[in-house]
Chains A and B, each alone.
Chain A
Amino acid sequence: MEKHPAQVTIKPSVPVLTGRRRRAVFLQDYQLYLLIGLPIVYFLLFKYVPMYGAAIAFKDYNIFQGVLGSEWVGFDNFRQLFAMSQFYQVVRNTLLLNVLDLLFSFPAPIVLAILLNELRVVWFKKAAQTILYLPHFISWVIIGGLVYQMFANNGGLVNNLIQALGLQPIPFLTDKNNWVLVYLGTGIWQSAGWGTIIYLAALTGVNKELYEAAEVDGAGRLKKIWHITLPGIRSTIVVMLIMQLGHIMSIGFERPYVMSNPLVMDYAEVISTFVYKAGLQSAQFSIATAMGLFQAFIGMIFVISANAVAKKFGEQGIW
């Protein structure tokens, strides 16, 4: 048994003598554990300790007694949470925004990828891709600023143009229904171009001979897209759809947070922003954790069922 593994790694890797080879092989495997050790500690500490910490959803959390010392209260926090009228609003908003996002943002990159694939002017295609990826690299804070500059009632570019045409300005950001449209549009704007990468990758795998055969049979462009291109990327579409369905309950924090304003909170308050406000701003740690746990649990059920359904339909699924 080697007692000082740290010394072993320092040894230069000179050719090993036959007699010591067996021992050397063992020591070399030791390096594998040395490499993976710290990352595993990271996952245990920063991912699994919080999972344990989520126990405070079932406790009356007290800052001074900590996670371990606080008293168990069973499902009291959940009962309290479910009794809040805000709970239903927040869950409804999360589902509403995510389902609409799925309906509108999901097909956008597929359509865009097919269009890019049909482009035959190479320089235009390359330039187009670079520009379409751009919004993905912009932070939500900045996107929030851009949206305001474009859609503000007073001085927003779009409303300036509308007024220049002699029409009444539209309250894009302060009317809650309009706000949902802006929220959805912003999502498409930010992600559609980036999303094409994965479909373009899948499109390179489509058999070129199929197109030639179809051409001989006299198929037009749309027919080729419908009968060859789309079936060719079907499994990629399904995998992406499962991943999206898995996230139907979870919603990123930054996008709704930076895009919301007090006038549209009826639609803009979602689970993640609620957890932040209840937990960190009002110090209701246990209630906020219960909300987070509720979300994580339902989300997991969604992933597992979506995957099972996909497999039933003969697709690969994600595991």
Chain B
Amino acid sequence: MTTKIAPQRIADAVIMLIVGIALIVCLVPFLHILSISLSSKQAVLSNIVTIFPREFDPEAYRIVFRDAAMLRAMGVTIFLTVTFTAVSMIMSICAAYPLTKDRLKGKSFFMLLIVFTMFFSGGLIPEYLLVKELGLLNSLLALIVPGMISAFNLIILKTFFSSIPASLEESAYLDGCSHIGILTRIVLPLSLPVLATLSLFYAVSRWNGFMDALFYITDSQLFPIQLKLYQIIMNSMTTDLTAQEGAAQTEVVPEGLKAASIMFATTPILIVYPWLQRYFVSGIMIGAVKG
């Protein structure tokens, strides 16, 4: 017997080892940045910080939390994320529910209209010109409205709605319940897992997105946190990398401060996503089955 069990155990150990290495690779950059943010300036400058803080010093966080522009950017991002997620979910629900009904005339036309946008788009410049024509440049609406429905999320939602037994809806229907009544009283309460998943997707995309802000927002009062971070991190990085070419040294942000800003912008998501994990895993599975 022992000769049979031993190779199994070895295989298990090897698999755990490989997965363990993958986990370390995932975590090291975060531990490193966290350590830098919590170490003293001298320790960071002398390159002795690896994955544990050296000469513990929370000064960088004190600076971040006293920086009015940073707090403002965080406020803008929180407002954007909450508003965007709410609007996106309402719009997605409004679109997905009728698309599950065969009685909706033109259903396949609407579907085609929506799905086509997943494969072809006018491109960045026409989208920019549209936002400009609508007078949305330098307005937070430009970061909410143009991307408010994701066709991909919409299809996941529609697939989930279709999986709810039709008999449930029919009996409510015969009792005189309207479509909107059925939607709010029967379909939505049964769809909480997928609603949680998609809310997370929308929220994360808004929280992390900065491309549209880079294009549409020039007023620093309206900068979301990612754009603010981009300026802090990237400007000094580019200067740093090209310094030997004789580029002028513009404001170089201390490493500790960059690290603290990164932690400041990331922590909220790190706290939220593990709690929603079981929802988005099942949500993706639904999407996986029927694309």
Contacts and interface: CB of A to CB of B under 8 A. Distances in A.
Contacts of B147: 46
A177 interface: no
B124 A272 contact: yes
Nearest to B126: A53
A178 to B, nearest CB: 13
B32 A149 contact: yes
Interface residues of A, number: 107
A32 B94 CA distance: 8
Contact of B234 (A121, A144, A272): A144
A318 B289 CA distance: 11
A160 B16 CA distance: 29
A142 B229 contact: yes
Nearest to B178: A13
B12 interface: yes
A138 B208 contact: yes
Given A130-B277, A139-B208, A142-B265, A149 B33 contact: yes
Nearest to A143: B29
Contacts of B29: 146, 149-150
B176 A14 contact: yes
A292 B181 contact: no
Nearest to B244: A174
Most chain B beta-carbon neighbours within 10 Å: one of A47, A141, A173: A141
Interface stretch (A79-87, A89-97, A99-107, A111-119): A111-119
A221 B11 CA distance: 8
B53 to A, nearest CB: 14
Nearest to B278: A126
A202 B27 CA distance: 27
B79 interface: no
A181 interface: no
A296 B120 CA distance: 6
B65 interface: no
B274 A51 contact: no
Contact of B277 (A13, A133, A160, A263): A133
Interface stretch (B54-62, B188-196, B280-288): B280-288
Interface string A252-270: 0110011001110000000
Interface string A1-33: 000000001010111100000001001110111
B124 A139 contact: no
Nearest to A120: B12
Given A46-B145, A137-B270, A129 B277 contact: yes
A64 interface: no
Interface in A247-291: 253-254, 257-258, 261-263, 272, 275-276, 279-280, 285, 288-289
B233 A263 contact: no
Interface in A48-63: 48-54, 56
B100 to A, nearest CB: 10
A211 to B, nearest CB: 14
B217 interface: no
Contacts of B180: 9, 31, 35
Contacts of B207: 139
A318 B101 contact: no
Contact of A24 (B104, B154, B176): B176
B176 A133 contact: no
Nearest to A49: B130
Contacts of A132: 22-23, 26
A198 interface: yes
Contact of B179 (A29, A142, A200, A296): A29
Given A53-B126, A135-B26, A189-B26, A32 B176 contact: no
A44 B122 CA distance: 12
Given A51-B122, A141-B210, A13 B181 contact: yes
A142 B11 contact: no
A313 interface: no
A149 B259 contact: yes
A197 interface: yes
A254 B32 contact: no
A143 to B, nearest CB: 9
Closest 4 CB pairs of A and B: A292-B123, A50-B122, A53-B126, A139-B208
14 contacts: A14-B176, A27-B178, A29-B103, A31-B179, A49-B126, A51-B121, A53-B130, A132-B22, A138-B269, A142-B262, A145-B234, A155-B255, A263-B242, A280-B128
Interface of A: 9, 11, 13-16, 24, 27-29, 31-33, 35-36, 38-40, 42-54, 56, 66-67, 112, 115-116, 118-121, 124, 128-135, 137-142, 144-146, 148-150, 152-155, 157, 160-161, 173-174, 189, 192-193, 197-198, 200-202, 204, 221, 236, 239, 246, 253-254, 257-258, 261-263, 272, 275-276, 279-280, 285, 288-289, 292-293, 295-296, 299-300, 303, 318
